[in-house]
């Protein structure tokens, strides 16, 4: 009896392999870092392998630093290490500006590996669209085990509690902030396997400047003296993000 379907058919009779219909899956199998959340159209990504020249930094305190590091990596050989200074409340920021292909729902994803000391990690985007401008911030406070968002009133407000993350040299957690500049709203925040719906929350509006652009920033505020810092890898910017869920 004939077995399966013609070799050009989707359901061809194969036993040890399976037809692949998703090009995103193909890219993931070939080494793309874009594997945690594949929604949205990728407009830029950085796996840290080519050095830190794509980023600017702002560092506060003695011992603060930013650059590539071979101690930990999610993929490849290196990650970025973001280390504040040696005093509590010292900070370290990495940031870049990006042209805007289209004003749509935007995403900022990164993976990060933590050490044992207390810290605040902030995921930040702002968009100057030429006629309007907004900023969105989500902060994880490890000491309070909270996720907080930056409000219109310029204060952080809790939107999730009991958020604890495991520390291990091989473990990189993944976070993705999705924002809606069209409707001037937050949209969602993903942390590992949990998605938080934020689509009713308002961002803070900013003053419009002459040249439209997107600004993204990752920041650590240390809550411990002489911190180790945070390892950051596989940073991805997306546009045309779909609506929830």
Q: Which of 207, 183, 188, 215 is nearest to 199 (CA)?
A: 188
| pLDDT tens figures, 155-172 | 999 999 999 999 999 999
In a domain, 19, yes or no: no
Q: Closest Cα partner for 107 from 44, 60, 28?
A: 44
Does 184 score more than 60 pLDDT?
yes
Question: Considering the domain boundaries, does residue 26 fall inside one?
Answer: no
Q: What is the pLDDT of residue 156?
A: 98
pLDDT digits (tens, 9 = 90+) for 71-105: 999 999 999 999 999 999 999 999 999 998 889 99
Mean pLDDT of 202-223: 93
Question: How far apart are alpha carbons 177 and 174 in whole angstroms?
Answer: 10
User: Does residue 219 sit within a domain?
Assistant: yes
Residue with tokens 């929350």: 201
What per-residue confidence (pLDDT) applies to 52? Answer: 97
> What are the φ and ψ backbone dihedral angles of 29, each rounded to 5 degrees?
-70, -25
Angle at 108 between CA 107 and CA 112, to 5 degrees: 145
Which residues constitute the domain of residue 160? 49-239
CATH code of residue 156: 2.60.120.200
pLDDT-derived band at 37 (thresholds 50, 70, 90) equals confident
Ranking 32-46, 107-121, 123-137, 168-182 by mean pLDDT, the lowest is 32-46
How many structural domains is the chain composed of?
1
pTM of the complete model:
0.87
Q: Which residues have CB under 8 Å from 130's CB, separation 6+?
A: 208, 212
Say if 142 falls within a structural domain.
yes
Query: What percentage of the chain's residues is helix, strand, coil (to nearest 5)?
Result: 5, 45, 55
- Residue 45: its pLDDT value, please? 93
The CA distance from 21 to 38, in Å, is 15
Q: What percent of the chain has pLDDT over 70?
A: 85
Structure-block tokens of residue 235: 């940073």
Please check whether residue 106 lies inside any domain of the structure.
yes
């Amino acid at each position: 009896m004939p077995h399966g379907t013609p070799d050009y058919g989707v359901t061809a009779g194969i036993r040890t392999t399976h037809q692949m219909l998703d090009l995103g899956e193909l890219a993931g199998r070939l080494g793309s870092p874009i594997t945690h959340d594949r929604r949205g159209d990728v407009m830029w990504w950085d796996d840290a392998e080519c050095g830190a020249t794509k980023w600017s930094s702002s560092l506060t305190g003695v011992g603060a630093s930013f650059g590539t590091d071979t101690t930990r990596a999610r993929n490849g050989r290196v990650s970025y290490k973001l280390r504040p200074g040696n005093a509590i409340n010292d900070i370290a920021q990495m940031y870049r500006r990006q042209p805007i292909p289209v004003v749509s729902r935007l995403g900022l994803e990164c993976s990060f590996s933590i050490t044992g000391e207390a810290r605040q990690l902030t995921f930040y985007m702002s968009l100057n669209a030429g006629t309007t401008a907004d900023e969105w911030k989500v902060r994880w406070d490890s000491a309070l085990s909270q996720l907080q968002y930056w409000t219109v009133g310029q204060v952080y407000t809790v939107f999730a509690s009991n958020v604890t993350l495991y520390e291990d040299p091989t473990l990189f957690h993944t976070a993705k902030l999705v924002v809606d500049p069209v409707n001037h709203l937050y949209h969602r925040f993903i942390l590992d396997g949990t998605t938080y719906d934020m689509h009713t929350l308002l961002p803070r509006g900013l003053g419009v400047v002459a040249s439209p652009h997107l600004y993204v920033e990752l920041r650590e505020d240390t809550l411990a003296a002489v911190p180790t810092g945070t390892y950051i890898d596989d940073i991805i910017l997306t546009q045309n993000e779909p609506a929830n869920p």
